[in-house]
Amino acid sequence: MRSKTSYSEAEIDWHDGVPYSRQFGDVYFSSDSGLNETQHVFLAHNQLEKRWQGLQSGHFTIAETGFGTGLNFLCAWRLWDNCAPPTARLHFISMEKHPLTHADITQALSLWPQLARQRDQLLAQYRFLTDGFHRLVFDDGRITLTLLIGDVNDMLPQLAANLAANKIDAWFLDGFVPAKNPEMWQQSLFNNMARLSHAETTFATFTSAGEVRRSLEKAGFAVNKVAGFGRKREMLCGQYMGQLQTKSAPLQSNAIVIGGGISGCASAHALASRGWQVKLIERHAALAQEASGNPVGVLYPRLAVKDNALSRLSLAGFLYTSRLLQQLNLNQTTYSACGLLQLAFDARESTRCKAIAAQNLPTELVRLVDNNEASKLAGTSLAHGGLYFPSAGWVSPPTFCEALARHTNIEILTSSCALRVTRKITRNGSSWQVWGDKNLLAEAPVLIIASANDSAGFEQSAHLELEPVRGQMTFVNATTASRQLKTILCTNGYICPEVDGQHSLGATFSPDETSTELRTGDHQANLATLRRMAPELHQSLKMQSMTGRAALRCATSDYLPLLGQLLDSTALTAKPPRHNADPAGLPWLEGLYVNTGHGSKGLITAPLCAEILASMICGEPAPIDAKLLAALDPNRFLLQKMGLKRLIASAAIR
Ligand code: SAM
């Protein structure tokens, strides 16, 4: 999520109700009528209405330089609503160096009541815009916004690295005028645009600067000068000419997902909301019966002092899950963003918390609090302060799973145990067959294995290295005193505020243990963690009757999930490729993917990973950067063992 560039918020003045950038000395949109300007410059000169009415592929991608107030995005969304086929999907990618604050964007967009429906949805998700990739999904997946926070000239290469060539259908070249913003309008911008364009890709820009025209032509675009909007006499628009390859047709849209936990349900949901027909196979009689069956799961980003893959995935995942939960509209008894205190219980932890708080993260996301403020926030006396995450909270994982799987495009096959997977080659391609004891359970060209520790149980996935980790939760009856607890408290364990008369405490961490019986010693360990965090609360709860639940997490040795397409390990080892081989030439198992190994972080990492996978399968840009994507490569341990580490990064994005 965070890249090495560091963003800063937009500094806005208001000139006659129109936002004006102090950083660039220019207005965000025309004071005549920003809405009509967008319509004229970006929508009309990319011929969007005509193209969308006759849309063949069901999917259209716009990329924009400078998100600003989001006006262009909202106008494109509204036009899409009016003229694109009902099942088609719009993907809008926008890059922004100085995001507007929530208050400023709200004020700017209040100028356009005709965009209220779209605006309100945007504003509900427009928060915590840290550096890097953000994925916002609207209207059940009909509209996707990928916001890249950072400089266009840093972000566009990152987009190009995680997206196959020729995927952008139209460019909105916005950004302040070249005279006031020369750093943005560089030749590299136009060259990167060319790399992502295809024969029908168009562009439009409000400027008619000769330098911009020449640079676009140099990159391979045919450029026309046409009448500009309002007081601007001329503007530029045109089409990419450099490459005559058109967008490839989307894959046949049927998929199978094995596993009815959070990872499988989220994977099915991400494809279903793209219009795919999905069969979700679960061996138990209901969804979410194993590690996703705990009544409560905690949602917060586990941040690290040093920027690393785990910490970035954790933050990106937390933001994605939070937005997704908002969309799913779960009620207060199953999801609560009650806030969480990560308590600094010793000197080391205190130094760590301070270092994290000193990072360039929005204070509405995380801030440092002392023990007085922490006690006030928690509603109980605490000996330590720490990090406060106001929007963190808890969710009922089974309810989350059910909400994700409740989709007209998903068929759930419960009490169906997938034992074997075979590949069927046909004249039109190939498909995957999933077999039960004797019968064929399902067949489809795409198969996602998301069955936690059992994910390695198929011949094709046997090389996956997964480790079971036992975890036991404790449920304690609430007392009058303990009912005062308002936030989650956590260290290496946690306690949640009372839900249905009980507090959930969790969870022990016992690697390589596969028993799920309840153990008194584990209850005691959970209570000992509570004592360290909140002695008074512990005093009040320690004699209460308690029950519990134990389950097996599914972890990996580097604590990162396994996500993506599988390589054929037999073919790979029989004929090892060179370390600089072309990834496209590796023995890929076409259509076979995994989403597993989420350890104890599944609620925050699995939904984002599902979205990454669906983007990968549909040839859309991933919601995370290429480096992080490579860190999740499911073949990484196999490639590492073969001395082919260099192939991991390049093989992840094909
Ligand atoms: N498209 C916007 C809208 O619909 O409101 C208006 C864009 S405003 C004219 C220009 C935007 O480009 C500003 O938000 C500015 O911060 C952004 N910008 C300028 N230079 C940039 C750069 N190098 N990288 C990313 N964003 C940039």
Q: How many CB atoms lie within 10 A of CB 295?
A: 18
Residue 184 CA, closest ligand 1 atom number: 23
Give the DSSP letter of residue 499: B
Ligand 1 center to residue 13 CA distance, Å?
Answer: 15
For residue range 221-237, list pLDDT tens digits in order: 999 999 999 888 899 99
Ligand 1 and 99: CB distance under 6 A: no
Average the pLDDT over 358-383 and give the result: 93
For a substitution probing ligand 1, which of 176, 180, 186, 189 has the most ligand atoms within 8 Å of its CB? 176
Average the pLDDT over 303-320 and give the result: 95
For residue range 632-645, list pLDDT tens digits in order: 999 999 999 999 98
Ligand 1 center to residue 65 CA distance, Å?
Answer: 6
Average the pLDDT over 577-605 and give the result: 93
Answer yes or no: is pLDDT of 256 > 90: yes
Ligand 1 and 37: CB distance under 6 A: no
Ligand 1 center to residue 361 CA distance, Å?
Answer: 21
Ligand 1 center to residue 205 CA distance, Å?
Answer: 12
Residue 592: per-residue pLDDT: 97
pLDDT averaged over the chain? 93
Residue 135: per-residue pLDDT: 96
The residue whose CA is least distant from atom 16 of ligand 1 is 98
Residue 249: per-residue pLDDT: 53
C-beta separation of 447 from 432 below 8 A: yes
Answer yes or no: is pLDDT of 187 > 90: yes
Ligand 1 and 151: CB distance under 6 A: yes
Ligand 1 and 43: CB distance under 6 A: no
Answer yes or no: is pLDDT of 534 > 60: yes
222 bridge partner residues: 239
Among 104-118, 159-173, 388-402, 629-643, where is mean pLDDT lowest? Answer: 159-173
Average the pLDDT over 379-395 and give the result: 95
The residue whose CA is least distant from atom 10 of ligand 1 is 175
DSSP, collapsed to helix, strand or coil, labels residue 199 as: strand
Residue 2: per-residue pLDDT: 41
Residue 10 CA, closest ligand 1 atom number: 16
> With 0-12 CB in 10 A as exposed, 13-18 as middle and 19+ as buried, what is 242?
middle
How is 262-322 classified by DSSP, letter by letter? HHHHHHHHHHHTTT-EEEEE-SSSSSS-SGGG-S-EEE-----SS--HHHHHHHHHHHHHH
The residue whose CA is least distant from atom 7 of ligand 1 is 68
C-beta separation of 639 from 299 below 8 A: no
Ligand 1 and 184: CB distance under 6 A: yes
Strand-strand pairing, 335-336 and 494-495 = unpaired
Residue 5: per-residue pLDDT: 39
Residue 383: per-residue pLDDT: 87
The residue whose CA is least distant from atom 19 of ligand 1 is 175
427 bridge partner residues: none
Ligand 1 and 28: CB distance under 6 A: yes
15 bridge partner residues: 18
Confidence of residue 165 (pLDDT cuts 50, 70, 90): low
Ligand 1 center to residue 28 CA distance, Å?
Answer: 8
495 bridge partner residues: 489, 505
Ligand 1 and 34: CB distance under 6 A: no
Ligand 1 and 96: CB distance under 6 A: yes
C-beta separation of 119 from 78 below 8 A: no
Residue 75 CA, closest ligand 1 atom number: 4
Side chain identity, residue 462: A
Helices H, strands E: what count in the chain? 20, 32
Ligand 1 center to residue 201 CA distance, Å?
Answer: 21
Side chain identity, residue 577: P
Confidence of residue 4 (pLDDT cuts 50, 70, 90): very low
Confidence of residue 427 (pLDDT cuts 50, 70, 90): confident
Confidence of residue 3 (pLDDT cuts 50, 70, 90): very low
Confidence of residue 455 (pLDDT cuts 50, 70, 90): very high
DSSP, collapsed to helix, strand or coil, labels residue 426 as: strand
Ligand 1 center to residue 184 CA distance, Å?
Answer: 9
Average the pLDDT over 506-528 and give the result: 94
Ligand 1 and 71: CB distance under 6 A: yes
Confidence of residue 7 (pLDDT cuts 50, 70, 90): low
Query: Residue written as tokens 């196979």?
Result: 281
Q: 330: which 2 tokens?
A: 């779960």
Residue 29 CA, closest ligand 1 atom number: 9
Ligand 1 and 176: CB distance under 6 A: yes
Ligand 1 center to residue 111 CA distance, Å?
Answer: 19
Ligand 1 center to residue 278 CA distance, Å?
Answer: 39
Query: Residue written as tokens 């604590």?
Result: 559
Answer yes or no: is pLDDT of 649 > 70: no
Which percentage of the chain shows pLDDT scores above 90?
83
Question: Greater confidence, 161 or 634?
Answer: 634
Ligand 1 center to residue 159 CA distance, Å?
Answer: 17
Query: Residue written as tokens 């308002």?
Result: 486
Q: Which of 297, 287, 314 is nearest to 403 (CA)?
A: 287
Among 171-175, 229-233, 250-254, 329-333, where is mean pLDDT lowest? Answer: 250-254
For residue range 265-299, list pLDDT tens digits in order: 999 999 999 999 999 999 999 999 998 999 999 99
C-beta separation of 455 from 464 below 8 A: yes
Answer yes or no: is pLDDT of 352 > 90: yes
Average the pLDDT over 112-120 and give the result: 96
Residue 252: per-residue pLDDT: 59
Ligand 1 and 72: CB distance under 6 A: yes
For a substitution probing ligand 1, which of 9, 12, 28 has the most ligand atoms within 8 Å of its CB? 28
The residue whose CA is least distant from atom 11 of ligand 1 is 66
Q: 376: which 2 tokens?
A: 């006030």
Among 155-164, 313-322, 338-347, 356-365, where is mean pLDDT lowest? Answer: 155-164
Among 74-78, 240-244, 403-407, where is mean pLDDT lowest? Answer: 240-244
Ligand 1 center to residue 174 CA distance, Å?
Answer: 6
Question: Greater confidence, 2 or 617?
Answer: 617
Ligand 1 center to residue 148 CA distance, Å?
Answer: 12
Average the pLDDT over 449-463 and give the result: 97
Ligand 1 center to residue 66 CA distance, Å?
Answer: 3
CA dist., res. 654 & res. 582, Å (int) = 10
Residue 639: per-residue pLDDT: 94
